[in-house]
Amino acid sequence: MPGIVIVGVQWGDEGKGKATDLLGERTDWVVKFNGGNNAGHTVVIGDEKYALHLLPSGILSDGVNAVIGNGVVVDLEVLFAELEALHARGVDTSRLKVSANAHIITQYHRTLDKVTERFLGKRQIGTTGRGIGPAYADKINRVGIRVQDLFDENILRQKVEGALDQKNHLLVKVFNRRAIAVDEIVDDLLSYAERLRPMVADTALLLDEALDRGEVVVFEGGQATMLDVDHGTYPFVTSSSATAGGASTGSGVGPNRLDRIVGIVKAYTTRVGSGPFPTELFDEQGEWLRSRGFEFGTTTGRPRRVGWYDAPITRYATRINGITDLVLTKLDILTGLDRIPVCVAYDVDGERFDEVPVNQSDFHHAKPILEYLPGWKQDITGARTFEDLPVEAQDYVLALEKMSGTRISVIGVGAARDAVIVRHDLVD
């Protein structure tokens, strides 16, 4: 069962990094297929805590081949800073390969991201400001810069000129900023070229050959289903395909080679940035969840918005991604509640919706219809089998499993690498 996709079910930060790391020992390859350094994955190994943004989390496991796929947008400054930080901590990063077709985030993308957000005012998306949207816009608009362009200075210069042509008008005339010089960008990009060269490869071919040999390839999604540009809460989304289909287009591996689709879902819900969020809490229960769950962004440090578990969202994500297994994370955070609210459907202006409404305005107005499940008080961080859990926690998991329509194969009971209960193996 070699091709395993990891996707976020909700609005990100479900614990995808930890899930990839969990598979680490049995993984030969790990591929990041979408997004860029807007992602933030925290992985705790022993006493060490690692925060990764651009590199796939699987890089933390010895002997794993890490790949940055063609669907990723790469900020080279961030790439080398992250690699250096890992070297300094003794992590072997020599197996990293970068797709020649991945697009590059430049200074003008970062600038445009920030000025556009400011321009939007109240309507802003709340992006991470890393240049993600503008870099993907250029890709789709066919004026993007690809990794392979760094190795032909003439082509690079022409492409940067082409890209800056309209943008400088926009920056100067609309946003009242200074124009960006072609040389400035070209020189900056070229300064990375020789360090990058040995990492650049036809990664789609490497992955195909690895799958032919029966090796285990994990496709690590950034962001999540509800942030996907097609299937999320548009326009309050990221600019890439964060769902399972993106694993194929973003890596160059055919969809028939994706054997297992693993959805990572938190035992409650969080969201960073703007947009609808039906189960959001604004009261002291929300404060309690945020501080107990350490819900502050890995990338921007922003407090995450928090709310209860939303079963229609998991059903939606299961359908859109073809999820075969769920990993339920952060169950330990709910310890101490007398009863745990769970959203089972929505009320939209008096009408009941059992599924996520297709109309964005309806979703904006959706009020959660809650059911209450019994809570538990015992510490569960030491549980390693399902039976170690208090019966109320077992029942909570079984209830979510029933509502979601997919089996919960792994349960997270703490941030540590080994703080998991495995009910069904994700690899075999």
Build a one-symbol-per-residue string for 350-379: x at contacts with Mg ion by CB under 5 A, - elsewhere: ------------------------------
| Contact set for ligand GDP, span 315-334 (CB under 6 A) | 329-330, 332-333
Q: Give the 3-state secondary structure percentages of the chain, helix then strand then coil, rounded to 5.
A: 40, 20, 40
What are the C-alpha distances in Å from 112 to residues 109, 152, 175?
5, 26, 9
**Residue 238 binds ligand IMO (CB under 6 A):** yes
**Residue 263 binds ligand IMO (CB under 6 A):** no
Q: Is 217 annotated as a binding residue?
A: no
139 is catalytic: yes
What are the C-alpha distances in Å from 228 to residues 105, 234, 328, 336?
19, 8, 20, 33
Pick the binder of Mg ion from 40, 131, 250, 322 (CB under 5 A): 40
Nearest-angstrom CA–CA distance, 43 and 309: 23
The neighbour count for residue 375, using CB atoms within 10 Å, is 16
DSSP codes of every residue in 303-358: BPEEE-EEHHHHHHHHHHHT--EEEEE-GGGGTT-SEEEEEEEEEETTEEESS--S
Shorter beta-carbon distance to ligand GDP: residue 115 or 415: 415
Build a one-symbol-per-residue string for 17-56: x at contacts with ligand IMO by CB under 6 A, - elsewhere: ---------------------xxxx---------------
**Residue 414 binds ligand GDP (CB under 6 A):** yes
Nearest-angstrom CA–CA distance, 57 and 132: 19
**Residue 132 binds ligand IMO (CB under 6 A):** yes
- Eight-state DSSP code of residue 180: P
Question: Which of 304, 306, 303, 302 shows the shortest CA–CA distance to 280?
Answer: 306
**Residue 13 binds Mg ion (CB under 5 A):** yes
- For the record, the structure tokens of 63 come out as 């002997």
Build a one-symbol-per-residue string for 274-313: x at contacts with ligand GDP by CB under 6 A, - elsewhere: ------------------------x---------------
What is the closest distance, in whole angstroms, from the C-beta atom of residue 35 to ligand GDP in the complex?
Answer: 10
Radius of gyration of the chain (CA): 22
109 is catalytic: no
Q: Is 249 annotated as a binding residue?
A: no
122 is catalytic: no
Placement of tokens 């904006």 in the chain: 364
**Residue 232 binds Mg ion (CB under 5 A):** no
**Residues at the site binding ligand IMO, with contacts judged by CB under 6 A:** 8, 11-13, 38-41, 125-128, 130, 132-133, 222-224, 227, 238-239, 272-273
**Residues at the site binding ligand GDP, with contacts judged by CB under 6 A:** 8, 12-18, 39-42, 44, 298, 329-330, 332-333, 412-415
**Binding residue ranges:** 12-18, 38-42, 128, 142, 223, 238, 298-304, 330-332, 412-414
List residues with catalytic annotation: 13, 41, 139
